[in-house]
Amino acid sequence: PSTPAKIERHIPQKHLTTPQKSKVKTLKRQGFSATEIWKETGVKKRQQNQVNASISLRTTPRKRHRRGKINDDTIQKIIKALEGHYNRRTWSWEELRKHFRLDCTEATVKKTINNAGYHKCRACQKSWINKDQKGKRYRWACAYKKWILWQWKQ
């Protein structure tokens, strides 16, 4: 019979404090290696990985490397069209897409136009004219009905 090998007791990892976690995340974002972070903070590589795995996508923005489906010239044409006649301003995203023969979805058209700083909204309702205002407008129109161009220019 042989004597069993000495069994080493498991030593649990100590929990990191919030400032330690924050420092590890900051150093990782700044491009420090695991060894450099360990020397700076004393946090082992395994714990660093656990801490850095919790970095959310919101704090590290994704980089997109594809071009937009609508080029800048087309965006300017769309904006010019929308700034023109009232009927064009009432077009839906689908109608805009069809009119400019765009190979994308309505959501893409909307997102692109919104990113350019233009947003659709419902027009504010104009207030109705009451009887007093109607009478004043009528009297004013009757008083100035026979004026000619040079009188208006004065």
29-33, long-range: CB within 8 Å, 24+ apart, which pairs? 29/55, 29/60
**Model pLDDT, residue 64:** 62
Residue carrying structure tokens 């769309």: 78
Per-residue confidence (pLDDT) for residue 60, from 0 to 100: 57
pTM beyond cutoff 0.85:
no
The rounded distance, in Å, linking the Cα atoms of 30 and 24 is: 10
Instruction: Note the pLDDT of residue 48.
Output: 84
**What is the CB neighbour count within 10 angstroms for residue 27?**
19
> Within a 10 A sphere around the Cβ of 97, how many other Cβ atoms?
20
- Looking at residue 135, its pLDDT comes to 94
d(CA 11, CA 13): 7
Could you state, in chain order, the average pLDDT of each consecutive group of 10 residues for the chain (154 residues)? Answer: 64 77 87 89 86 64 66 88 80 89 90 85 76 92 91 85
16 in Cβ contact with 25 (< 8 Å): no
